[in-house]
Amino acid sequence: MAQGIINRVVPASPFALGVARFFVHGTFLLTTLITSFSALGSLPPTILRPTGAMKFLPWSFYDLLQTHSGMLTLKTVMLVSLLLSTAGFLTVMSTKTSLLLVLFYQGLLRSFGHFNHDEMIAVYFLVVLAFTPCGDAFSIDRRLGRIKKQRPAFAYAYPILLMQLLLAWVYFSSALIKLRVAGWKYLTPDNLPALAIFHSLDNLHDTAFRAAFWLPQVRQYLPIFVALVLVWELLFPLAVFFRRMRWWILGIGVIFHLSTLFLMNIFFPHQLLMYLIFVDWDRRKK
Amino acid sequence: MSIISKLTNSWAQADGDEKRLVVKYAILTAFLFLPLFWAFLGVRNLYPIAAWNVMMAGGDLERGRSYCMLRGETISGETIDVAAIELTGALFSRNWTMVNAAIDNQSFKLKSLHPQNEELLRQFGGIENLPPGARIPDLLQAWGDIYNKREPESSPKRLKAIRLDMYRWESGRYSDYDKFIETWRKEL
């Protein structure tokens, strides 16, 4: 019965899960392709602060990695693995190697800077895809006739539901943490302008928009805006179960992330791209 | 029929493969969500386990904040702003916190230190004697080299020095954003 409900709520075809594999792995493939790893390799390992699981690796490893040839090797291996997993070739293995490599690379970036959350949801999607039959369709494996096994619709529907729930958790838990940590203080008129201006002062952020300096002029209205954002975050899980509300909730999400870009010079492109998990690819195919 | 009895019946009717699939997906769900709940309850990030605590404290107008500008001195004598994202784009959204951590000497506060940092600490006789941003010159050297590699040898835009200027927004009001604090400068 539960399987039947899940199969009705989310797309339940190997094609839909294959498309999810394509855009999640493809996102990391594209960013790896356009990123200069040699510049990253020029940074001194002495400013690294290995975070979480990255602490298990010895300094001699980081010394080897933080070189031109070390970074070239990492980039090449990542590109090969991500190309295979995006195309769905040797999917059972390539989705797992891509997961490990991306996990390592993202940990390295966080060991230089801070625990930025943008790519994390996509990393969790990689975990889901690595342990589900995401190469059964929309893949080279399928074209080559390597997929023989017939699986129930639930095998494809549940991973998609799980990824949607993970994305919903991101926003829902974010709102709860704000309320737990800051409480009603989060709704003071100076919260948003002070934060936004601070993020607009330096030239070390990725963009240099100055819209934040306009916020003090409308500070009395900002608590309403912030409260609406909190309500939207709390309601985000409804996007999983109610199709009609879904596009409103996701639409507000797009506006929200664009506004953080212009007001705070903070952008979450990976997280935004993961909204594609809510598209009913079976319907699009028809 | 109650939901529980419906579930029990459908479980009884399922074949071995289906049961294995359900168990596998239950394990996968627990593997993902249990650490996330743990991180959420403790509001703690432990890579790769994330608590979505982005901007959880909000802004406080009364609290002063420091920030940095990366600038280059060209061989033609000009001082230009240098965007860190154009040098180390891979760090995407993390350049500013890398600089803050380096100024705060956070790489010297780890349980396991890089051997070169250990050596530097020995030379200074402890972290309390270490100047702020002890590794900033190394970072500036790396950024300066990346910048100059992209400019032709004859370009007047090549840098002869690169520096990090620190300012402070004393705050309390929406003005006076740029009280100068200090500079780290590296000849290239």
Contact A47 B101 (CB under 8 A): yes
Percent of chain A's residues with pLDDT above 90: 86
Which tokens in the block code for residue A3? Answer: 């399987």
Chain B: closest CA distance from residue A35 (Å): 6
Report whether pLDDT(A238) > 80: yes
Ranges of each domain in chain B? 1-58, 65-187
* pLDDT tens, position by position, B71-122: 999 999 999 999 999 999 999 889 999 999 999 999 999 999 999 999 999 9
Closest Cα in chain B to A182: B57
Decide if A274 contacts A117 (C-beta within 8 A).
no
Rg (CA), chain A: 21
Position A150 confidence tier, pLDDT thresholds 50, 70, 90: confident
Nearest residue to A280 (alpha-carbon basis) of A24, A23, A28, A20: A20
How far from the centroid of its chain's Cα atoms is residue B37's Cα?
23
* pLDDT tens, position by position, A77-130: 999 999 999 999 999 999 999 999 999 999 999 999 888 899 999 999 999 999
**Which residue do the tokens 């359900």 mark?**
B22
Instruction: Tell the burial category of A140 from Cβ atoms under 10 Å away from its Cβ (0-12, 13-18, 19+).
Output: middle
**Distance separating alpha carbons of residues A52 and B172, to the nearest angstrom:** 36
User: Across chain B, which distance is largest between two alpha carbons, in Å?
Assistant: 84
Answer whether 0.80 is exceeded by the pTM: yes
Q: Residue A7's pLDDT is what?
A: 65
Which tokens in the block code for residue B119? Answer: 């050596």
List CB contacts (< 8 A) between B28 and chain A: 127-128, 131-132, 162
More confident residue, A12 or A211: A211
* pLDDT under 50: residue ranges of chain B: none
DSSP run (H or E) holding A261: helix A243-264
Q: Residue A243's pLDDT is what?
A: 87
**Distance separating alpha carbons of residues A224 and A211, to the nearest angstrom:** 19
Position A2 confidence tier, pLDDT thresholds 50, 70, 90: low
Average pLDDT score over residue span A202-221? 95
Q: Residue A116's pLDDT is what?
A: 86
Nearest residue to A197 (alpha-carbon basis) of A222, A230, A173: A222
- Most A CBs within 10 Å: which of B5, B25, B141, as the mutation test of the A interface? B25
Cα torsion through A218, A221, A223, A224, rounded to 10: -140
C-alpha distances (whole Å) from B69 to each of A266, B147, B156 are 17, 16, 22
Chain A to chain B, count of Cβ pairs less than 8 Å apart? Answer: 233
* pLDDT tens, position by position, A65-74: 999 999 999 9
Backbone angles phi, psi at A183, to 5 degrees: 60, -145
* pLDDT tens, position by position, A25-66: 999 999 999 999 999 999 999 999 999 999 999 999 999 999
Q: Residue A204's pLDDT is what?
A: 95
Q: Select from B58, B61, B63 the Cβ nearest to the Cβ of A182.
A: B58
- On average, the pLDDT of chain A sits at 93
Q: Return the ∠ at Cα A161 (arms to A159 and A167), rounded to 5°.
A: 105
**Distance separating alpha carbons of residues A249 and A267, to the nearest angstrom:** 18
